[in-house]
Amino acid sequence: MIFLVEETLKRIQSHKGVIGTMVVNAEGIPIRTTLDNSTTVQYAGLLHQLTMKARSTVRDIDPQNDLTFLRIRSKKHEIMVAPDKEYLLIVIQNPCE
C-alpha cells in the first residue's frame, strides 16, 4: 500500500512542469517533500491558513458542503492543494513549461 503511494508520489513529481510536491501534516510538519525545508514550512504554514479560510467560507454558505480541492493560479505557476483534516497535499506546477 505504501509502495503504491510512493510510486504515485514519484510519478506526480516526474510530471511535466511539476516544481515540487509536499505532504505536510496538520501541524505543518512535512512528511514528504521534494523542496527544501524552509520553503516547505513556509508553504505549509501559509497554505494551511488559506485552506482553513477557504473551508470556512465554503461551509458557511452550506454547512453540509466541504472543501475538496484548492487551486491557486498565479503568474508563474499553479499551486494545487488537496486539504484534509490531518494533512495537506501540495503540488506546485508550472503548466506553461
Task: Determine, following the binding rule CB under 8 A, whether residue 22 of this chain makes contact with other proteins.
Answer: no
Q: 64-93 b/e with 16+ CB inside 10 Å = b?
A: eeebeebeeeeeebbbbbbbeeeebbbbbb
Task: Determine, following the binding rule CB under 8 A, whether residue 37 of this chain makes contact with other proteins.
Answer: no
- Binding-site residue total for other proteins (CB under 8 A)? 37
Residue among 37, 38, 64, 74 that touches other proteins (CB under 8 A): 64
Residue among 10, 17, 36, 42 that touches other proteins (CB under 8 A): 17
Task: Determine, following the binding rule CB under 8 A, whether residue 49 of this chain makes contact with other proteins.
Answer: no
From 93, 92, 94, 90, select the one nearest 48 (Cα to Cα).
Answer: 90
Phi, psi of 21 (to 5 degrees): -130, 135
Residues that bind other proteins (CB under 8 A): 1-2, 4-5, 8-9, 11-12, 15-18, 23, 25-26, 29, 31-32, 56, 59-60, 63-64, 68-69, 71, 78, 80, 82, 84, 86-87, 89, 91, 93, 95-96
